Copies of this chain bind each other. A is one copy, B any other.
Amino acid sequence: MNEPRRLAAVAVELPEGMTPPGTRGQVLHAALALFAEYGFHGTSIRDIARRVGITSASLYAHYPAKADILAALVLLGHQELHTRLQRALVTAGTSPGGQLAALVRAHVLAHADYPLLATVANSELHALTAEQAAPALALREQSRHLLLEVLRHGTATGAFTVADELLAAVAVGSIGLRVAAWFGPDQPYTREEVADAFAEFALRIVDATTARERQR
């Protein structure tokens, strides 16, 4: 284990309600903090056990293998994000600009609220086998599809002006994803300020016009 901190974040947090109770949940919390900081291969099962306050042998009463702990975290992270994106879209109304802003705000807020989870879900996924990663990757594809559909609808109706929706989706997604890496309590912004600013950037990327502007 090494010294430099990988993340500015302090609070280790997992989404409520979706986390298993008791020791099983404590294992998840401990593994999340360690995987985010040192990576999956940089963390030993003894490290996790020590943080929970049990021995490494006791871990196996809760998870069959180390990789299964990671798989649970990766899936949880993708579920939380997808749920938030869906909720955002449902309450966003019908204007393409409003929908895009809602998606970006939800994306940013999810990464601001659970930076550790987002980091582990995204950059430790390679430590899983294809079968273990599959459920999370399926969710990721669905989330990507939500954004893509909003962009396509926006360009089709003339609300957006984008040469290539796929590239726009990648760009918009990138600014939200990276929030997990830099945002934290050390930054001079609230999570809402970042969400608003990045939603505005997304609208600019697609050259969104308001209804009033279109009437001119």
Q: Which of A9-17, A47-55, A88-96, A123-131 contacts B (4 or more CB under 8 A)?
A: A123-131
Let me know if B2 and A42 touch, CB within 8 A. Answer: no
Q: Which of B3, B41, B130 contacts A3 (CB 8 A)?
A: B130
Q: Which residue of chain B lies nearest to A200 when distances are taken between CB atoms in the complex? A: B163
A153: interface (CB < 8 Å): no
Which residues from chain B contact A130 at a C-beta distance below 8 Å? Answer: 3-4
Chain A contact residues, majority secondary structure: helix
Which residues from chain B contact A173 at a C-beta distance below 8 Å? Answer: 178
Q: Which residue of chain B lies nearest to A43 when distances are taken between CB atoms in the complex? A: B41
Let me know if A6 and B201 touch, CB within 8 A. Answer: no
0 or 1 for each of A182-216: is its CB under 8 Å from B? (1 = yes)? 10000001000010011011001101000000000
A residues apposed to B, CB below 8 Å: 2-6, 37-42, 123, 125-130, 133, 163-164, 167-168, 170-171, 173-175, 177-178, 182, 189, 194, 197-198, 200-201, 204-205, 207
7 further A-B pairs in the complex, CB-CB below 8 A; given A163-B200, A164-B197: A4-B126, A39-B40, A39-B42, A41-B42, A170-B175, A171-B197, A174-B174
